[in-house]
Amino acid sequence: MHAIDTLDTAGLGNRSYLVAGPRTAAVVDPPRDIDRVIAAAERCGARIAYVAETHVHNDYITGGLELAHVTGARYLVPAGAQVSYERTAVADGDTIPVDDGLALEAVATPGHTPHHTTYVLRDDGRPVAAFTGGSLLIGTVGRTDLVEPRLTEQLARAQHASAHRLADRLPEDTQVLPTHGFGSFCASGPSRTADRTTVGAERRRNEALVQDVDTFVARLLAGLDDVPAYYAHMGPVNAAGPPPVDLTPPKAADASGIAARLRAGEWVVDLRNRVAFAAGHVRGSYNFEGEGQLATYLAWLMPWGKPVTLLAETPGQIADAQRELARVGIDRPAAAATGEPADWVAGDDRPSGFRRAGFGALAEAVRRGDQPVVLDVRRDSEYADRALAGSVHIPIHELYGRLAEVPPGTVWTHCASGMRAATAASMLDAAGRTVVLIDDHFEAAYEAGLAVV
């Protein structure tokens, strides 16, 4: 008998797993905030005896080392991973007994990284699930360009072989439980909308299993998209051994302190939704919605190591953001403040704001001959697929360093749905530009009669 508890980290598009027998449990690819894992183990009444990593992660800080220290569990890390801490090195074919009749079998599945390992869960000897990390995902596989550019094609070929190795040796009804692929930039392509999958389902639809190796490699390499800049810092931290997470509340900031931090060139980040931010905010602050992919985009855009102050309506929102940022190594906000914009501006200053509109309003401006500057901040692949005629394209993750390239005039920012465009509008507003946030879905551009090419 076994139970599998899935711990979803939606903001990063990843999952961790707790597999438990009657008495003991193993955790696969734990998140940095290990209190969630410990609580899950307590709910099922099992002691965590093993903590297993499928690979040294490039997209988030692991909680594996700390979890092993706190619980006394054995820390299982692939033997080929170059790490600086003591661990139990796991090699292809090793079997780890979790509880009576319950075991994890290590299967080498290089591709996402050279040392990548899948853990096959066996219940009384029968394979029932495969924890595939960044190998076999739902409809796709993990990307192969995060280790070293010179290895990308070699790892892509290894990824194809690893997917086939799993599919050939496991029964059709074996659950496939990946770490990546639920919005993570570690996926080499978009995952299917299915929430769960099996080996049999993947045999019929996964790109690595339905294409020959040359076709698969060519398509994978052609489809690789931008890599979040902070990924460069994750692998080294995980290999060295991350420090324990600290989620104690940050220092409180008052209005004068916020102003001083802005003058010093620090980042002040407003976590409120884009509607509230557009209506009023501290001039010079940036809008990253706490309900969106906060950790991914803030860590991607912000110069690494820059002090950040968080603004939100409630202490709970600050705590949630602090937890999410810690998962990608932004450990301690410099300060935080709660309330509303009127509480955050000093002296005679007043909150700033800018206009929100839809694509229909943009179409009217074009018909009037206003000559708006339309800034598209989507990724390169999105822009290449379809774009507004005459728009300026600067991906959101490049905008901070390319603000001077935005043509003069009133700038209308857009993305696919409004979240990234709101961040772009806040950056332009902080730079003194007049902006209009197009808070609309891109499909509305067709309805408005705008030219899409």
* Rounded mean pLDDT for each run of 10 residues along the chain, 453 residues in total: 93 96 97 97 97 97 98 98 98 97 98 98 97 97 96 98 98 98 87 81 97 98 94 97 96 97 97 98 98 94 97 98 97 97 92 98 96 97 96 98 97 98 98 98 96 94
Please answer whether residues 430 and 331 qualify as being in contact, where contact means their C-beta atoms are separated by less than 8 angstroms. no
| pLDDT for res 193 | 55
Output the pLDDT for position 195: 82
Rounded Cα distance between 138 and 141, Å, is 7
**pLDDT number for residue 192:** 57
- Are 453 and 390 within 8 A, CB to CB? no
Cα separation, 388 vs 218, whole angstroms? 29
The one-character DSSP state at 12 is G
C-alpha 32: how far from chain center: 13
Measured distance CA(12)–CA(294) in Å, rounded: 9
**pTM for the model:** 0.95
Structure confidence at residue 372 (pLDDT): 97
Determine whether domain 3-240 maps to CATH 3.60.15.10. yes
Q: Where are the domains of the chain?
A: 3-240, 255-344, 355-447
Strands (E), 124-221: 126-133, 175-178, 197-198
Say what the pLDDT of residue 191 is. Answer: 62
pLDDT computed for residue 181 by the predictor: 92
CATH number for 355-447: choose from 2.40.170.20, 3.40.250.10, 3.30.70.20, 3.40.50.150: 3.40.250.10
Residues 6+ apart with CB under 8 A from 177: 4, 6, 15, 17, 28, 129, 130, 131, 132
pLDDT of residue 292: 82
**CA 296 to mean position of chain CA atoms:** 5
CA 162/CA 299 separation, integer angstroms: 31
- Domain 255-344, CATH class in plain words: alpha beta
The 74-78 sheet, strands edge to edge: 3-9, 14-20, 24-28, 47-52, 74-78, 88-90
Q: Determine contact, residues 223/307, Cβ cutoff 8 Å.
A: no
Same fold, 255-344 and 355-447: yes
Tokens (6 digits) for 203: 């045999």
Ramachandran region of residue 274, left (φ > 0), alpha (ψ -120 to 50) or beta? alpha
